[in-house]
Amino acid sequence: MPVPQDTTTERLRLDGTEFVLRLTSRDSRLGLLALHGGVEGGTAELAEEVAARTGATCLIFSQPSPPRTHISSHLLAETPSRTLETFLSAVSLTISLHGHLRPATPDAIFLGGTNREAARTLAAALRALTPSFTPVTDLTEIPSGLRGLHPRNPVNLTREGGVQIELPLTARTQGLRDVPPEDVVAGVTEGVRRLGA
């Protein structure tokens, strides 16, 4: 039976960059977030697919026009947005999907954010279902810029905080397509389901 949902959109501008926010609201304490849709290929697509499979709420930031610019997550939270406020008040735990291009760790999936228990739950599901990637939860092993610990980062602004998942390119795209591999979709989906249990 389909989960009832409501979709709203909002446009906003930050430092000359236009964003379109699309919020798909469902009755869930869990929220999927992709702040760099189109900039970090496959993250928006992964968030939408996992949210659809689990019944989680989903918020996607996208940039409709090139050139597309990577703007730090905490700066996006400082821009007044009724859509982001709605998301943050509606869910209590956020899973924020990002992409990294670290050549030294091409198979590492880094799980940062302030909710360390949730990070370990997601890592266990990824470890079981995505054997070609290595989930990393030890913050000392995660590059400082990928830890997702800034207090104004949207992933940390919900009541239970959240998990920032940094995915290498091959975990979020296939060839030239922004389509995440099925094993990664399955791993994140299973982790979100465990968090919702």
Residue 43 belongs to a domain with what CATH number?
Answer: 3.40.630.100
Produce one character per residue of 134-155: b if its CB has 16 or more CB atoms within 10 Å, e if not.
ebbbebeebeeebbbbbeebbb
1 is a domain residue: no
User: pLDDT grade, residue 67 (50/70/90)?
Assistant: confident
147 is a domain residue: yes
Three-state secondary-structure class, residue 153: coil
- Its domain, for residue 106, covers 6-196
Digit-coded pLDDT (tens) for 113-166? 999 999 999 999 999 999 999 999 999 999 999 999 999 999 999 999 999 999
Averaged over 87-113, what is the pLDDT? 97
74 is a domain residue: yes
44 is a domain residue: yes
Number of domains in the chain: 1
Averaged over 25-45, what is the pLDDT? 96
